[in-house]
Each structure stands twice: as C-alpha cells, then as structure tokens.
Amino acid sequence: MFASPLYEAARRRDALVTWAVEYAFPLWWDAGYDHARDGFHEKLDKAGQPVDLPRRARVQPRQIYAYATAPALGWEGPAGSIVHRALDAYLARYRREDGLFRTLVAADGGVLDDSTDLYDQAFALFALAHASRALNKRAELEPMATALRVMLIGRCGRQGGFALLAPDALPLQSNPNMHLLEASLAWEEAGGDIRWTAMADGIAELALARFIDPVTGALREFFDAGWHPAAGEAGRIVEPGHQFEWAWLLLRWGRARDRTDGTRAGLRLLEIGETHGVDPARGVAFNSLLDDFSIHDHTARLWPQTERLKAALLAAEITGEEQYWTQAAKAADGLSLYLNTPVKGLWWDRLSPDGTFVDEPAPASSFYHIICAIAEFDRVVTEAGIKRPA
C-alpha cells in the first residue's frame, strides 16, 4: 500500500519524539547535569559519563531551552524544576554586573574568561524567552532581557546589524545576527513588547539586503565593516546548515509579516542547501561550500541535519507541496544516523567523508538543535492532522 509523504514523515516524527522522551531527556538530566555543583556538563562520553571541561556560556542557555520544551513533547520528568535550577545557576555564574554574559566559567563557577561574545548574548535572550514561558515569569525575566537588548542595540553599526562585541572586530558575521533574529522571534511569541518585533525586522531586512547574494540567492558567512563579502576565501564561504537555518527563520518571518520576499528568499535558501549541500551517497548535509557551490568541507556535522529538517517542514506547511514532506523524511533519516549510538540518548557529532563517524564525546550544545527540530517536526505534523500515538 502506498504511504503518503506526510505519513512517511509522521512515522519518523514518532520515532524521534520517542528517542527524545525515553532516552535523551532522562540521560542529559541524570548524567548531563552536575547535580553537585550545578550547571550542565559540556560533553558526555560514549559511555554516557560526563567529561570534565570548562563550561561555555552558550551551552547553558541551549540546555535550558531543551528542557523548557520537553513537556510539550510529552516528557513527564521534572522539566520545570530543571529550568528553574539551571537558570538560577546560569544567571549567577555568567551574568556580569553590566548585564552582559561572560564567555567561560570553571565547573565550580569560577570565572575563566570574562569577555563577552555576541553569539552568547543571543542565546541568553533566547533562553530567557523560553524560560519566561516555561516558568510563567515573563514579568521577572523580560526586564533583564530588555536591558540586554538595549545594550546590544547601542552597539549596532551604522550599516545596520550587530557586530561582534570586541571593538572593531572583523570580519563581521551573519551567524550571531541569525541567533538574535531567533531570540527576537522567541520573545515576540512569548508576548514581549513591540521592540522585539522591530529588532527581528531589522535583522531580517539586513539579511535580505546584505547577507544574501542578489544573484545566486545564497547566504554568506563573513563580511567587511560595510556588510560586503569579506576579502579572500572567508567571504566566499556558504554553509548548507545556515542556508537551512536562515530559510526556516525567514519563512517564519515572511509568514508572520506577510512578506512574500522573505518567503521567496527562504525557499531559495532551502533549494540551495538541498541541491548543492547534501551528499547523496551519505544522505546528509555537509559543512560548507564556496560561493560557486563547489565543495569546501565535506565533513558533515550533526547540526545541519536538524536545520535541514526544520526548513523542509516549514516549507511543507507554508506551500502545501508534497516534495517538502519527502525532503523532511530524508532529512529525518539523515539525522537519525547520528542518533544511533551504543548508549541511547547520545549522538555522534561528525561524519567523515568516507562515511565513518568520528569517535568522540557527544557535545551538549547539539541538544538544542535536535530538540528544536523534533519540536518543529511534532508541531507541523500534528497541525497537518496526524497526532502522536497515545
């Protein structure tokens, strides 16, 4: 009997939700959280044991997001208390007196690097938005996020967009701006004030005007001070994972604002990623291309697989075209390769060009990507009419 592309996607949705609820959420709380000293561990080894490493600012808010999302996927563990405890530890250890978030602390909370990075500020805003919803604490957490937003806007360049926080740091990067767009949309959905909408609009407009090549439709990574492509090879880098991730965000933004140019750009980014950034032999999206769409780095990390899935799902929902359900199913198959580990709930991070996985600990930072993809999978398939099995 022929199964529709939507049904095929739904079967994969069910398998991924089961993996998250039965294995990943329990493991990354039981072993992935430092119950003695607080804070999430950076990595778990392939036996599911924590690796003792300094703790980056970006990992903590990503894990907070994952557990804020867990109840919606059906996990019955103590998600609320996890978010509360982890958020308290995060704010106590990483938030500086000026309201910015430092880069790195030791396992005991001692400061190892007090500098700040735009990428980390974006994830602070993102986690605060999701924690405010999970804990029903918008009145308490939004002022903190607003103060951070004001500081970041104060450092906005004359050409628009957000530069790195170090003075005169070059090249400028599209990626931190992408995560600020994601955080702004999260606050918008959490009921935040109209300035979050304005921030999201400014970044999306900059992406359409500067980050995306007007001829090819591809999105670049590195830029000079005027948001022109950086000199040399850096200015030619095109990452398939970020084509997909920006596609998902611009499709969301285009639908919310009724901006067909945003939707067109998002669909073109998805097309570029699928056409040029997926290795048919391995069935996965690889790391990077050059601007002529030749291969730059054929290793395939886990996270681009999650973004490929999200972009295809939202394209299916917005356009109603079956081809995108088929793409979503293929992306889910690619992602599932990385989740096939001896200890269930872990993942492989890097797939070599020869088709073998690099044997190394699982980075906690990937959990945010995985859970965001599974949550979007569940939402889109459910709204298309296929609920999860009871």
pLDDT of 93 higher than 80: yes
Distant-in-sequence contacts of 187-193, Cβ < 8 A, 24+ apart: 187/125, 187/128, 187/129, 187/142, 187/145, 188/256, 189/129, 190/129, 190/130, 190/132, 190/133, 190/138, 190/142, 191/138, 192/129, 192/138, 192/142, 192/145, 193/142, 193/146
Instruction: Judge whether 122 and 129 are in contact, CB under 8 Å.
Output: no
- pLDDT for 303-358, tens place per residue? 999 999 999 999 999 999 999 999 999 999 999 999 999 999 999 999 999 999 99
- pLDDT for 171-189, tens place per residue? 999 999 999 999 999 999 9
Name the token pair of 337: 């390769």
For the question of whether the overall pTM of this predicted structure is more than 0.95, the answer is yes
pLDDT of residue 1: 47
What mean pLDDT comes out for the span 264-269? 99
